[in-house]
Homo-oligomer: A and B are copies of this chain.
């Protein structure tokens, strides 16, 4: 769908254009083979939610230095992109956002290296802010992302995956990056410590809600909307909030074990999807997500009214209501 052009990002509309240009410029490299690979990956049609969070967070207090905030916002989107490339490579995913993944076009080896390259480019962009704190935040965020993905891999196909595991994993693999996006926006614009912590808190809770909604849509949307197969997490052995709730509600009468053990998988998967769709599970999951967005918005109460604050509020609603 490309960058969100609607009113959500209005306070940073011009800056988002600069971020998009900066992201595309990553593919301006000497070697044609590398330019083609990078261009394929970075021009992805992503919504650019994370850099928008950085920009809105940077602007909420009024401070704003384009030379500093734009590279950081670009760096955060590239970090996100790099992790997607590695995730797709590891999961052997064939499609992302409706087009073949880099791994399925160039092979896993080159996709892994392209992800590494984007990590380095991301670190380089963040370092342009000349902030040791932002550089450290970058390193810690990457560490959280990897810990989350590793825990997901290690617990995959285990029926012991519960809410606690799930919240810890999505806290690391999704909320940490949202939280970095908002915290870095505050840090590099020299916001007061109280503002930094409030924006970090907002970002973290928004990220939790975002991931929960993603995991709901994985069951409720159709393959075309998702750009990938329905219930792909369950297929890969990962329980998310909807399937954990199914397991909680019907511990002895659910198709999860059969799916994990690859017994009659196609029919059992269809059954799991139906059981989740035709139950109170979906609204219950949305209530959990809304609890997180409520906490996110609560964190913003220290800021006076401003267009950026309003946009951050609206973004929370939008992320809950979205259909893809």
Mask, A16-58, CB within 8 Å of B = 1, is 0000000000000001011001000000000000000000000
Interface centre among A37, A90, A138, A139 (most CB of B within 10 A): A139
Stretch of A128-136, A205-213, A273-281, A296-304 contacting B (4+ beta carbons < 8 Å)? A128-136
Q: Which 8 A-B pairs have the closest CB atoms?
A: A120-B142, A123-B139, A124-B139, A90-B109, A120-B143, A117-B146, A135-B135, A127-B136
CB distance from A81 to the nearest CB of B (A): 14
Q: Which residues of A contact B (CB under 8 A)?
A: 31, 33-34, 37, 86, 89-91, 108-110, 112-117, 119-121, 123-124, 127, 130-132, 135-136, 138-143, 145-147, 149-151, 153-154
CB pair A86–B108 under 8 Å, yes or no, is no
* Contact A123 B108, CB 8 Å, known A116-B86, A130-B132, A149-B113: no
How many copies the complex holds: the figure is 2
CB distance from A36 to the nearest CB of B (A): 10
* Chain B residues in 8 Å Cβ range of A108: 90, 108
* Chain B residues in 8 Å Cβ range of A135: 123, 127, 132, 135
CB pair A120–B132 under 8 Å, yes or no, is no
